[in-house]
Amino acid sequence: MTLALDPTAQDLLFREAHTAYTFADEPVTDEQMRAVYELVKYAPTAFNQSPLRVTLVRSPEARERLVRHMSEGNRPKTSTAPLTAVLSVDLHFHERLPELLPHAPHIKDAVFSEAETRELHGSFNAALQAGYFILGIRAAGLAAGPMSGFDRDGVDKEFFGDGRQKTLLVVNIGKPGEEAYRPRSPRLAFEDAFTTV
């Protein structure tokens, strides 16, 4: 193998990891979530913009508010997962750029003064961070159940009424439960995904 990562870690993060559909009745702690973030925050984004924001839905009241915006098939698993995270893009991420990019503070206004530019670049980079977040959950020995089936406008109004954040993804998190996984679906072969020019 030409990979530096230990085969056990490769399995944990990729080969043996699956999207989870059921979860064990075991809590996910703030300490676990902090450890996930402290790992994945180092993954790259353009200009180090770091636009992803994570809202942990813990209280029964907040869970109920979220579940009503989930698609029919996603409601039961969102109701019963130990923890659910709403991943969103902060459309005002540029305000933190002088802190996050201290060697080039002018980027804040030179590149990201327009709201449309911020939404385009912020959404793309927050989506990258969402992928890192899922891998971080796996690295913590937990399972992730990412979902795109929900009313985005409804979730935005419910949790981000000021319009500053826009929801990208909802992720259930926990130890996998019984029959948590579906069989692995096929993946493209290298020859189908890569072209050399």
Alpha-carbon gap, residue 157 to 134, rounded angstroms: 25
* CA 108 – CA 47 distance, rounded (Å): 10
The pLDDT tens digits of the residues spanning 4-62 come to 999 999 999 999 999 999 999 999 999 999 999 999 999 999 999 999 999 999 999 99
User: Which residues contact residue 142 at a Cβ distance below 8 angstroms, ignoring those fewer than 6 apart?
Assistant: 28, 32, 173, 174, 175
- pLDDT of res. 39: 98
Rounded CA gap, 88 and 157, in Å? Answer: 12
If phi > 0 it is left, if psi is from -120 to 50 it is alpha, else beta; for residue 145 that is beta
Name the nearest CA neighbour of 77 among 16, 150, 184, 128.
Answer: 150
Q: Which residue segments constitute the domains of the chain, with CATH numbers given?
A: 25-175 (3.40.109.10)
pLDDT for residue 147:
98
pLDDT at residue 1 tops 80 = no
What is the C-alpha to C-alpha distance for residues 77 and 1, in angstroms, rounded to an integer? 38
